[in-house]
Structure 1
Amino acid sequence: MIFGKYINRYYLRFLHLILLGAAALIVVDYAQLRIPEYEGIIVDSLSEKAMTLELLEELMFKFLLIALAMFIGRFLWRITIFGTGVRVEADLRDRMFAHSEKLSQNYFHKNKVGAQMALYTNDLNAIRLAFSMGILTLVDALFMGSLALYYMFKINVMLTLLLSIPMFLMALAGGIIGKFMRVKFQERQKAFENLSDFTQENFSGLSVIKAFVKEGKELLSFRKINKENAEKNVVFLRYANLLYVIILVTINLIGFILIGVGSYLIIKTKSTNPEIGFTVGDLTRFISYFSSLIWPMMAISQLINLRSQGKASYKRIKTLFDEPIDIVDNNPVQVKVLRGEITYRNFNFAYPDTDRSVLKDINLEIKPGESVGIIGRTGCGKTTLVDVLLRLYNLEESTLFIDGIDIMRLPIKQVRDLFGYVPQDNFLFSDTIHNNIAFAHESLPEDEVKHYASLADVAGNIEEFSQKYQTVLGERGVTVSGGQKQRISIARALAKDPKVLILDDSISAVDSKTEETILSNLQEFKKDRTIILIAHRVSSIQNLDKIVFMDNGRILGVGTHEELMENVKLYQDLVQLQELEEQVEVVKGDEHGE
């Protein structure tokens, strides 16, 4: 069994099933321990030539009842106790996932996906076994072990006390080894976590590995991590097997003592000391009770093993549950409707656990219904400028406002509902194209899905697939091209029908004609919505209401294309550079045409 503040509730919630399972287990144990009594009667009756047909029939009928009770009891305790373990595992997994969804981006920057998957698989499995098998082995060891010892004491006190000495030494050794096993299991889980991390990362980046012809290098790295994982497993198994061998040797030792001393008592009873009263039937019963005691003794070994693994895994899962949820509502202002007026006022931002400011002294106003382009060199802070709008991080108060209200005072859900966001990585789920586009809704009619796909200029591509909108995408959308991923992501954001649409470099993977079509469709979709478009090409944003030009985390200018050309030298340089690049491409095209 395993205890802790995140698991204790299950003992109360499933108390009725645990008690029913324990009761069924006790019935089975009691019935099982009646067998040696009847075996002893048969042996003594045969040896004393007192066996009758009526007695044999009576004993056989009792054996039949015992078998029936054991069958029903074993079925009941397996359903109740093992079933409870599965329910505990499923509920814990639900709570872990719900808690993980509330954690900030910072947590997932520090903890890799493979490490999280180890918690949801190996660690939860260890807790399930510690819970269900723990209850089983504890009840079995206590009740069957105690009852078997009681019957053994009734037969012969001296022999039972003699056998208790090696049993005590075995329990002492088990406790010591169990402490080492707990430490080694934690190391084993950490090694599995590293293996899971490496495997997941390599499968995700397999195309890059192949492009750089680094399969051999990655295989060597995998072998090294896999070897470390195997070594940690071997070390843990050494301790587990050592405990098993100690118990097995103890059982054999007790068996030798039992047969030797028992035979001696029978000889003494028959020859010189009849008052000892130890018969062949008594030895048969005693051996049968001892045989019944073997499972509780083995159960103690299993209980130590399971508890060691369970405590180590619980410690790792507890770390997840103890991770504070720092992005929370704090006495939020209740607002019926947000229009989407955005104001940055002397805004500064640095990512958690870093000292470097990514955004510095930002002052910007975006009015509802405006089309705003954001441009600047790579790494100048464009993405961060829009990311902070989604309340993914805690921000300095009174520096970012929506509709004149500090964003830190607004309900997080209401803020996020305001935006439709197309991120740079264009993440798609391993689901149908229809469900990916309709992600913001519980359900969305297919004609609406097709409408938004048309606005994103991806409807034609989807119709070419054999399953059309029911086509299941591969993991992270790997079965479609980069441009198709971008456009499906745009369709998903449009389907949310947001008041503010944010596109973060979301048309970089399409050709210029497709880009023009999408931008034209966005103007049709726009109406009174706000559109924020981050781009690297000036041509993508030069016709928007205003352009924000950034460099090194600062805003160097805000205005129309013409205003920035007139007032911002770096913007002029960027435009001229891109025009020169376009001219070079045209010349190259002409040369190839010749």
Structure 2
Amino acid sequence: MTQLSTLNKYFSKYKYRFTLGVLFVILTNYFRILAPQLTGFVVNAVVTVLKGKNEPLTDAQLHNYDFIVVKIIQWFNNESFQHKILYTGLILLILALISGFFMFLMRQTIIVMSRYIEYDQKSEIFAHYQQLDTGFYKTHSTGDLMNRISEDVSRVRMYTGPAIMYFINLAAIIGFSLFFMIRSDVKLTIVALSPLPILAITIYFVNTIINKKSERIQALLSDLTTNAQETYSGIRVIKSFVQEKAMLRFFKNNSEAYRNNALSLAKTEAIYFPSMSLMIGLSTLTTILVGGLDVVNNVPGADLGKIAEFVLYIQMLTFPVSAIGWTASMTQRAVASQRRINEFLLTQPNIVDAENAMDIKVEGNISINNVNFTYPHTGIHAIKNFNLQINKGEKVAIIGKTGSGKTTIAQLLLRMYDVNEGSILYDGTNVQQLQKNSIRSQISYVPQDVFLFSDTIKNNIRFGLKEASDEAVFTAAKQANIYHEINQFDEKFETMVGERGVTLSGGQKQRISIARALIKNPSMVIFDDCLSAVDAKTENAIISSLYEYLKNKTAIIITHRIFALFNFDKIVVMDEGNVVEQGTHESLMQLKGLYYSMYQNQQENNSGE
């Protein structure tokens, strides 16, 4: 239950709604508890008439009833038998309507409160997800993240709403019932409640089992969600390799494991309700038996009206007591789900702003000094003693084979990771002393792995600059050499691109991603192998357009290809995390080292094509 203590802040936030809900629960059950007393009065009135009498109740007999019931009985105590029956029936109907009205208000406060809490919790989790660093997402699946913000939060809502409401309702009805039962007849109260200890023991053991099985089911559901999500995202790969049956078999195995565990939990929960019915049935039978024997033996204070009253008390307790199992099950599931939610909420991002982090304008002067970096979860030493000086307005190419550490440099410059050793300075200030969002907002970045949202082309282009005009969108598209192709679509810039841009070609997605970076018009841009999916002609057109666009801007172009037409101020050649060569195109060609070999191979491949 300590896991659920994190929800206290929400109960505090909605304390007035919660307090009103508790009050309405009490009022609902208070007006319900009057019905058995009036029913007992009517039964005794009938018995009295059958005996040939019609005597009003004495003050001693009225002492066991609630003061409202006493006032009602006193109102028509001297009336005829027919009037007593009529008035009692009408009053029972009125009490039911009043109780129903307060029950409506009860649900409008507590259940609605749970929906507000669900909204707040999902917002909190989503906001926290966005604060977590890149390393976190490399070790956690999307399906698991989705399951925790949807299924787990929904199960927690069942605790903050129905479970809380039924628990308070249970406490109220048991409290009222015990008070009036003991006040009426202690002996019958003990008899009626004698099966409850057995019920309590059953609940304790079954809840322990439910808790363990709930945690297992939630873990299996995360696996199932992840499996489905990956299948949908990679459907083109699956189809191209004709692996539909294999993926279906894999899904069925996961689904069967979830089903078996869910059925096992359902069987365990099924023990509750038969147990409740059995205990309630035994309680009713023993109450009628003991009360009936007392009436037959003329025990003082025993009468048929009291037996009817106690039977109604027991029946009123049937649903709340039977809901103990349901409430306990919902609570145990909520505990398991909240534990999974807390695991992420308590996970702190490794990349955080330093105290008094600065928000400065990035001019474009970059100094990378003796940087070493090892990926924390793989142990790969990606960057080794890396040094690079970039002045404002310079155009720098970082070239190397796949796995040489080029993309890691871009990640470090954007502070997606922190260096293990060395430093990265922007205009003389360490990147770790700057606000990370300030840095990222001033740098345009085109990632190697292009990602487009399920939205229009226009909204994808102006994703980082929502207030951008249509004209700015068109200009960025022209600079990325994608404008004319977009205009050939039926909906032009209003074309929906589908999930991850599935309706577009690889080259089109890359160029839209470039346009998204260019529209920000920043002082510094980083292009990470963003032209790999375009042909040579388109590549040359984009490079020519970029050359004009990048005047007076600091630009870092990361690539495994050599752009001989682009006049770079500096070219850095990387291999296995090290800088092996550095200079201009001409000077590197004269060295006849790795850069020269890469250039010769590229020329041979181009001529072969």
User: Counterpart of 1:119?
Assistant: 148
Q: More deviation in 27-36 or 334-343?
A: 334-343
Which whole-Å CA distance do the structure 1 matches of 2:273 and 2:257 have between them? 24
Distance 2:140 2:357 in 1: 33
Per the TM alignment, residue 418 of structure 1 is displaced from its structure 2 partner at its CA by: 2.4
The Cα of 1:278 is off from its aligned counterpart by 2.5
Are residues 1:245 and 2:269 paired?
A: no
Cα distance in 2 between the residues matched to 1:158 and 1:335: 77
User: Over residues 285-339 of structure 1, what are the superposed CA-to-partner deviations in whole Å (9 max), with x where a residue is unaligned?
Assistant: 1111110111221122122111111111111111111112221112355354220
> Which residue of 453, 456, 480 corresponds with 2:477?
453
In the other structure, the counterpart of 1:592 is: none
Percent of pairs with identical residues: 33
Structure 1 residue 383: Cα displacement: 0.6
The answer to whether the 8 Å contact 1:483/1:507 transfers is yes
Cα gap change, 1:515 to 1:540, in 2 (>3 Å): farther
Q: Write the distance in 2 (CA, Å) between the matches of 1:4 and 1:71.
A: 31
Q: Secondary structure at the match of 1:372?
A: strand
What does residue range 189-338 of structure 1 map to in structure 2 within 5 Å?
Answer: 189-268=218-297, 273=298, 275-332=299-356, 334=358, 336-338=360-362
Letter in structure 1 aligned against 2:228: T
* Alignment partner, residue 439 of structure 1: 463
Give the residue type in structure 2 aligned to 1:260: L
Q: Secondary structure at the match of 1:193?
A: helix
Shift of 1:206: 0.9
160-169 or 57-66, which moves further after superposition?
57-66
After TM superposition, give the deviation of residue 360 of structure 1 in Å: 0.8
Q: Write out per-residue CA displacement over residues 98-133 of structure 1, whole angstroms, 9 at most, x where no aligned residue.
A: 111111111111111111111111110111111112
Q: Quote the offset at 1:410 in angstroms.
A: 1.7
SS at the partner of 1:547?
A: strand
Residues 304-453 of structure 1: pairs in structure 2 closer than 5 A: 304-332=328-356, 334=358, 336-396=360-420, 398-453=422-477
Q: After the TM superposition, which of the residue ranges 78-87 and 146-155 deviates more from structure 2? A: 146-155
After superposition, give the CA deviation of every residue in 1:233-279 in whole Å (9 maximum; x if it has no partner): 122222211223322221222222223333323322xxxx2x43322
Residue equivalent to 2:508: 484
Q: Which residue of 2 aligns with 1:548?
A: 572
Asked if the contact 2:372–2:421 (Cα under 8 Å) also holds between the matched residues in 1, the reply is no
Q: 1:442 to 1:72 in 2, by over 3 A?
A: farther
Instruction: Please tell me whether the aligned partners of residues 345 and 363 of structure 1 are also in contact (alpha carbons under 8 angstroms).
Output: yes
Displacement of 1:351 in angstroms is 0.9
The number of residue pairs the alignment matches comes to: 580
> 8 Å contact 1:427–1:476 — kept in the other structure?
yes
> How far apart are 1:397 and its partner, in Å?
5.9
RMSD of the TM alignment (CA)? 1.8
Matched, 1:465 2:495: no
CA separation in 2, counterparts of 1:284 and 1:305? Answer: 33
Unaligned runs of 5+ in 1: 586-594
**2:371–2:421: 8 Å Cα contact kept in structure 1?**
no
- Could you tell me whether the CA contact under 8 Å between 1:397 and 1:406 is conserved in 2? no
When residues 566 and 243 of structure 1 are mapped into structure 2, their CA distance, relative to the original with a 3 A threshold, is: same
Contact 1:155/1:286 (CA < 8 Å) preserved in 2?
no
Alpha-carbon separation, structure 2, partners of 1:388 and 1:247: 62
* Contact 2:362–2:427 (8 Å) recurs in 1: yes
Report if the CA contact (8 A) 1:137-1:302 is conserved.
Answer: no
Report Cα offsets for 1:64-119 as digits up to 9, x if no partner.
32133123212211111001111111111111111111111111111111111111
Q: Aligned to 2:448, what secondary structure does the other structure show?
A: coil
Structure-2 change in CA distance of 1:539 and 1:412 (3 Å): closer
TM-score between both structures, scaled by the size of structure 2: 0.92
Contact 2:199 / 2:279 at 8 angstroms: preserved in 1? yes
**Within 2, Cα distance between the matches of 1:507 and 1:355?**
30
Deviates more, 1:349-358 or 1:44-53: 44-53
Asked if the contact 2:163/2:330 (under 8 Å) is kept, the reply is yes
State the alpha-carbon separation in 1 of the partners of residues 583 and 2 from structure 2: 64
**1:374 Cα shift?**
1.8
1:497–1:10 CA distance, 2 compared to 1 (3 A): same
